[in-house]
Amino acid sequence: MSSSTPIVDIHTHIYPPSYIELLKSRDEIPYIRQFPPATEHRLVILPAEDTPSTSRGRPIGPEYYDIEQKIAFMNTHSINASIISLANPWLDWLPPTTALQTAHSINTEINHLCSLHPKRLYFFGTLPLSAPVSSILASITHLTTLPHCRGIILGTTGLGTGLDDPSLLPIFTSLAAAQLPIFLHPHYGLPTSVFGPRGTDYGHVLPLALGFPMETTIAVTRMILSSVFDSVPELQVILAHSGGTLPFLAGRIESCILHDAHLQKEGKLTQGRKTIWDILKSNIWLDAVVYGEVGVRGAMGVSGTERVMFGTDAPFFPPLDDEEDASEKQGKEGEKEGKKWLSVSLNMDAISSACGAGSEEEKAVLGGNAIRLFGLELPVSA
Amino acid sequence: MSSSTPIVDIHTHIYPPSYIELLKSRDEIPYIRQFPPATEHRLVILPAEDTPSTSRGRPIGPEYYDIEQKIAFMNTHSINASIISLANPWLDWLPPTTALQTAHSINTEINHLCSLHPKRLYFFGTLPLSAPVSSILASITHLTTLPHCRGIILGTTGLGTGLDDPSLLPIFTSLAAAQLPIFLHPHYGLPTSVFGPRGTDYGHVLPLALGFPMETTIAVTRMILSSVFDSVPELQVILAHSGGTLPFLAGRIESCILHDAHLQKEGKLTQGRKTIWDILKSNIWLDAVVYGEVGVRGAMGVSGTERVMFGTDAPFFPPLDDEEDASEKQGKEGEKEGKKWLSVSLNMDAISSACGAGSEEEKAVLGGNAIRLFGLELPVSA
């Protein structure tokens, strides 16, 4: 580490070894298996990916489960600290009877991985959502005992019917009380039908580029409309991929609320109502995984520069080939442990362009905001 | 008109009287009917709206079909000229045998309505998409003979399977040759299932605020991925609602393309490829119907200030009640013909905030860009 700007990656995934074994033991998605004649193991997590083709799932190498590879990746990109999280599909698919124990075991395992690299690794825990609410609450209590835990990662289905489900309120209340923010992350995307009969001609572009961010946007909008943030005003939610599309659509959502005859009739348009603009500035945080200056500006525009945080989405979106990324040629000293990833440099460049290179705003987004929100201690620079 | 800044509304709808009669003659969506004991006529255009509830469709009054009401609305908001378009669902649902004749008749009728208010009204024509391609091409030829026509309005289904359908290429080529831009507008939204079991609790907010812009984004992204803008480089497409969410997601889409192994294997990632950034600046125009400063900034950020144009989406989103909108109290003289609409002032304020009040950029977005693109002659200010 030679950079004077601490860099914190709040969006970076891992499948700990025991989770890999779980996935290998399965024969329906999500699963990991070989597709002969190929000998590599491939991870298939979405129904749309589970078809015989050159793009069936994705190869799964040690970058998915080896914590030393995470550290190497961090060193390559001058990332001082990472908040690692279990990648989707998390634990939603577990049998209710084993879910609590599996969550306990996996959260403990990830906490242990963090302890191997003190101050460099923290984590978002995972909840046993298929278990009874009392077990989910017990799991939150367990997370508060794990010293490296800084929040939880959550998908969009909640207990099965989405995050506007009133049954989730005790869980949201418990998370807010424990000061554990939610990292809301997509997994299911949109029904394949919306991408049309030629959707697979474009590889994974449509589900990844559009389905994922739209899923997140719908999920958080349903939370807003069901008044979650009025019921649990202290709840803090970090949205993956800069909120999906929430920053851009916030104005339209608020206008549609203000013009909705049904909501008016139901007495929902009262003066004291928390508007979407209020919620964006008091309950929402956004990662800066949006791959463009316009997106970063939009994120900062709605939630404030102080609520936007750098992320990489690694190990997803590795470089396609061994060619050196152009940004590598301009690399600083001390970054020679590997080749930089295009997906990371796109996000770093976007932050730099939107904030101004070397500005206080850039420092805040790259690391300062995460250090403040999560109370991180960082390693002394080497 | 007393404003020194010409204002042009490029997104404003009408159902001409003959189309209203067509809809009244039908008994499945789209249709217009009374729901006793209520005596008002209501328009139901979406399956999700076609359920017994307080929000079944929407009341349809003269603001939907009376051209004099359009002029009064324009006067209220100091709009000098409007490019009116048939509102969804257009003509997609017509029997193939009558589609060409109906399109001919409706386009002629709208052209006549424009001629009643010279230089104040222009229009986007509608194509008979259920007819054979040769009939669609004949309809384009007809539109070139109508002096007030300035483009066509198009939904996202095209000939039935979306706008990435190669069968559309002769139509796109013909439109580009005739210098008729496409105004791409959503209608179907997303499958209701994505909004969850409580979706209707929130009135029409989820389908209108999220379904519509997501539909547009998916449709134009499919056009981009299928290389329409390489095949027809002169094609100009104006996207409703500031591109849905395209400006915010452009970076993610481009990154997903650059990281897609399937596209690489298919040889699609060549150096000469038109990137999404190229397309946004040479083929795409965006209306400014996005109800917030962040959205307008995003639209201008990706396509340039010179490709963003004011619109109202009227007669949709009327004020919910008779209360005067706050912006009315600051109204200028000569705007006393009616009360201003909140939905319009949200968009005007957003443009003003994003561009700077009184700036050249604001003038360009409010009217200058539309005057240039469509070659409009405007009335002399009163």
User: How far is residue B203's CA from residue B45's CA, in Å, rounded to a whole number?
Assistant: 15
Of A172-186, A212-226, A242-256, B322-336, the range with the lowest mean pLDDT is B322-336
Is the pLDDT assigned to residue A28 strictly greater than 90? no
- Domain span at B201: 155-287
The whole-number pLDDT of residue A379 equals: 80
The whole-number pLDDT of residue B334 equals: 40
**Residues of B in Cβ contact (< 8 Å) with A198:** 161-162, 164-165, 222, 226
Is A27 part of any domain?
Answer: no
Question: What is the token pair recorded at A8?
Answer: 């914190």
Is A70 part of any domain?
Answer: no
The whole-number pLDDT of residue A381 equals: 60
The whole-number pLDDT of residue A66 equals: 97
User: How far is residue B74's CA from residue B81's CA, in Å, rounded to a whole number?
Assistant: 8
The whole-number pLDDT of residue B56 equals: 76
Confidence tier at A365 by pLDDT (50, 70, 90): very high
The whole-number pLDDT of residue B35 equals: 86
The reply to whether A253 touches chain B by the CB within 8 Å rule is: yes
Which of A260, A294, A346 has the highest number of chain B CBs within 10 A, making it the mutation to test binding with B?
A294
- The answer to whether the Cβ–Cβ distance between B249 and A210 falls below 8 Å is yes
Which of A53, A163, A190, A194 has the highest number of chain B CBs within 10 A, making it the mutation to test binding with B?
A194
The whole-number pLDDT of residue A271 equals: 83
Torsion of Cα atoms, B123 then B128 then B134 then B138, to 10°: -30
Which of B40, B192, B202, B281 has the highest number of chain A CBs within 10 A, making it the mutation to test binding with A?
B202
Is the pLDDT assigned to residue A374 strictly greater than 60? yes
Confidence tier at A328 by pLDDT (50, 70, 90): very low
Torsion of Cα atoms, B112 then B113 then B117 then B119, to 10°: -70
The whole-number pLDDT of residue B207 equals: 95
What tens digit of pLDDT does each residue of A50-104 get?
776 656 788 888 999 999 999 999 999 999 999 999 999 999 899 999 999 999 9
DSSP state of A314: B
Question: What is the token pair recorded at A218?
Answer: 């719908």
User: How far is residue B370's CA from residue B276's CA, in Å, rounded to a whole number?
Assistant: 23
Nearest residue of chain B to residue A58 (CA atoms): B261
What tens digit of pLDDT does each residue of A331-356 get?
444 444 589 999 999 999 999 999 99
Is residue A104 classed exposed, middle or buried when 0-12, 13-18 and 19+ CB atoms within 10 A define those classes?
A: middle
Name the E strands within chain B: 8-14, 31-34, 41-44, 58-59, 81-86, 121-126, 149-154, 182-184, 237-239, 284-287, 308-309
Facing A320 at nearest CB: one of B252, B264, B294: B264
Q: Are B290 and A245 in contact (CB under 8 A)?
A: no
Is the pLDDT assigned to residue A288 strictly greater than 80? yes
Please tell me the total count of domains within chain A.
Answer: 1
Is A308 part of any domain?
Answer: no
What tens digit of pLDDT does each residue of A199-227 get?
999 999 999 999 999 999 999 999 999 99
How far apart, in Å, are the Cα atoms of B306 and each of A55, B244, B371? 40, 19, 11
The whole-number pLDDT of residue A337 equals: 56
The reply to whether B255 touches chain A by the CB within 8 Å rule is: yes
Is B182 part of any domain?
Answer: yes
Nearest chain B Cα distance for residue A321, angstroms: 9
Measuring CA to CA, which residue among A271, A268, A275 is closest to residue A251?
A: A275
- As a whole number, the mean pLDDT across chain A is 92
Torsion of Cα atoms, B300 then B304 then B310 then B314, to 10°: -70
Cα torsion A188, B48, A222, B60: sign: positive
- Per-residue pLDDT for chain B (382 aa), expressed as one digit of tens each? 335 789 999 999 999 999 999 999 998 889 999 888 888 889 998 777 777 665 678 888 899 999 999 999 999 999 999 999 999 999 989 999 999 999 999 999 999 999 999 999 999 999 999 999 999 999 999 999 999 999 999 999 999 999 999 999 999 999 999 999 999 999 999 999 999 999 999 999 999 999 999 999 999 999 999 999 999 999 999 999 999 999 999 999 999 999 999 999 999 998 889 999 999 999 999 999 999 999 999 999 999 999 999 999 999 999 997 444 444 444 444 444 589 999 999 999 999 999 999 999 999 999 999 999 999 998 876 4
Facing A210 at nearest CB: one of B221, B242, B262: B221
The whole-number pLDDT of residue A53 equals: 63
**Residues of A in Cβ contact (< 8 Å) with B350:** 251
- The answer to whether the Cβ–Cβ distance between B343 and A255 falls below 8 Å is yes
DSSP 3-state of B286? strand
The whole-number pLDDT of residue B221 equals: 98
The whole-number pLDDT of residue B177 equals: 98
Q: Are B179 and B210 in contact (CB under 8 A)?
A: no
**Residues of A in Cβ contact (< 8 Å) with B209:** 221, 249, 252-253, 255-257
Question: What is the token pair recorded at A43?
Answer: 């991870």
Domain with B172 in it: what CATH number?
A: 3.20.20.140
Is A207 part of any domain?
Answer: yes
Interface pTM, i.e. ipTM: 0.94
Nearest residue of chain A to residue B244 (CA atoms): A249
Which of A157, A212, A256, A287 has the highest number of chain B CBs within 10 A, making it the mutation to test binding with B?
A256
Is A68 part of any domain?
Answer: no
CB pairs under 8 A between A and B: 261
Helix or strand run (H / E) with residue A360: helix A360-363
DSSP state of A131: S
Q: Are A311 and A369 in contact (CB under 8 A)?
A: no
Confidence tier at A325 by pLDDT (50, 70, 90): very low
Beta bridge partners of B122: B83
The reply to whether B342 touches chain A by the CB within 8 Å rule is: yes
**Residues of A in Cβ contact (< 8 Å) with B259:** 317-320, 342-343
Is A45 part of any domain?
Answer: no
Nearest residue of chain B to residue A304 (CA atoms): B294
DSSP 3-state of A166? helix
3-state secondary structure B141-171: HHHCCCCCEEEEEECCCCCCCCCCCHHHHHH
| Polymer length in residues for chain B | 382
How many percent of chain A have pLDDT more than 90? 81
Question: What is the token pair recorded at A270?
Answer: 């009262």
**Residues of B in Cβ contact (< 8 Å) with A165:** 198
